[in-house]
Structure 1
Amino acid sequence: MKIKVARYTTEPEVTETVLEYEAEMKDATLLEMLNEIKTKQDPSVTYASGCRSSVCGSCSVRVNGREVLACAYKAQNGDLVEPMKNSPVIRDLVVDMDRAYAFNAKAKAWQKSPASSVSLTQENEKVNEIQSDCILCGSCYSACPVYAVNEEFLGPFSLTRVWRYVSDAREKDPSDKIDSIQTNGIWDCTLCNECTLVCPQSISSKSDIEKLRSKSAMNGYSDPNFANMFGGGFGGTMFDGSPSF
């Protein structure tokens, strides 16, 4: 079996090459094949891995232009393996995810402390159960096309976490989170659904963003793009119900 691996270095300058490797393996995961290449052919090949059980998310890469977990994806002859998009490459298939994680802080994607002492029911838990399964692989962040035109977009990676906490019954006042996602946030999403298609946990960030839009409308916000269609007649992002034109 032959696969191609994109090789990136950043020192002394950014360089990119694509090397082809061959290994006598059948029904092997991509991670198993990369391990075989690194231990027996080219020790300089650099990639990340951890649990090997699709739990830690550290082995996420792109194969033939689509985000996958290397430990779960079955390698195919001729595959092209590349690093994740929208993040600086450190070396080869390893990227720096600090910027993606920083958007969580901008979006206030955390549980307030102290949380309300509400006793959660099974129904409460089911509301955001799947969002809690996020493994931080960054596949949705890599797949999002909005970053090509807006590098400050909070993105599906952070916005789905915002919904995780906004929908939590223990969150007394989620209004500050709703406030934080109006600029470069929910209204900038194109709802293309690329994030959902690549999520290994089947989390629909598109659906979460739609729910955040509904929650924002309940808090008095409206889509600024809609307002701009009418020459700003609705007076910005806030709409108080009174005519402004």
Structure 2
Amino acid sequence: MKVSIKRASGFVMYEVDLNDATLLEVLNSIKTEQDSSLAYSSGCRSSVCGSCSMRVNEKEVLACAYKVQDGDVIEPLKNVAVIRDLVVNMDKALETNKRAKTWLQTYNKEAKLTHEDEKTNALQSDCILCGSCYSACPVYSVNEEFLGPFALTGVWKYVSDKREAEPKEKIDTVQTNGVWDCTLCNECTLVCPQGISSKADIEKLRMKSTMAGYIDPSFAQNFGGGLSF
């Protein structure tokens, strides 16, 4: 079985004698038996840490979960700086969580969560920050300041949490380079290993934004800032 891996010098082809192997197993085999200089990231080997995210045939995957096929083309994530081979710097991507304030800011001590309340944002809580959605998002190619899929999903997690006493503050935070900049292309959802739909979360944030008095800037511009009846 042959695979091509993007390295600093270009694509390098490797041949491995493995069947039904994960990409991480293939990479480990190449590094230990053929090329010790190959660099990649891995951690839990159980699809929960997100550190081994990369692209195969132009689609984001977790190396520990993806089963390699003959002829696969392997590359690092997009929209992030490459440190070496398949290792990328996630600092800028993770910074979006800080800018979006994806945490419980003002605690509502009177809030009592039911089992149904816990289910409201249980899926969003499964985000492993692998960066797959960040890599797949086409908006970053034209707007590096975009908050992006996993940060906006994080915002929705707390906007929908009854324990957040001031959800409006979070809605205010995502108006610039946020909910209205998303094209709703759904690429983030298609590559999420946890099955999270950031597109759906962004749509819900748009609804909350409208309820808070905000409007899509492009809509406002096209109609002169308002409508008359």
Q: Same fold (TM over 0.5)?
A: yes
Indicate conservation of the 8 Å contact 1:140/1:156, yes or no: yes
Report what 1:106 is aligned to: 99
Report what 1:181 is aligned to: 174
Tell me the alpha carbon deviations over residues 156-182 of structure 1, each in whole angstroms, 9 at most, x when there is no partner: 120000001110110011111110100
What is the SS of the residue equivalent to 1:95? Answer: strand
State the percentage of identical aligned residues. Answer: 67
Indicate conservation of the 8 Å contact 1:100/1:157, yes or no: no
1:160 aligns with 2:141: no
Report what 1:6 is aligned to: 6
Report what 1:45 is aligned to: 38
Report what 1:67 is aligned to: 60
Q: TM-score, normalised by structure 1?
A: 0.91
User: Which of 80, 85, 102 is the equivalent residue of 2:78?
Assistant: 85
Tell me the alpha carbon deviations over residues 85-132 of structure 1, each in whole angstroms, 9 at most, x when there is no partner: 000001100111111111111111111254535221111011101000
Partners in 2 of 1:84 and 1:4 — Cα distance? 15
Number of aligned positions between the proteins: 229
Show structure 2 runs of 5+ residues with no match.
none
Partners in 1 of 2:26 and 2:151 — Cα distance? 32
Partners in 1 of 2:141 and 2:225 — Cα distance? 29
What is the SS of the residue equivalent to 1:158? Answer: helix
Indicate conservation of the 8 Å contact 2:106/2:165, yes or no: no
Indicate conservation of the 8 Å contact 2:2/2:16, yes or no: yes
Per-residue deviation, 1:47: 0.2
Report what 1:171 is aligned to: 164
1:144 aligns with 2:137: yes
Show structure 1 runs of 5+ residues with no match.
9-15, 235-242
Q: TM-score, normalised by structure 2?
A: 0.97
What is the SS of the residue equivalent to 1:176? Answer: helix
What is the SS of the residue equivalent to 1:4? Answer: strand
Report what 2:211 is aligned to: 218
Report what 2:225 is aligned to: 233
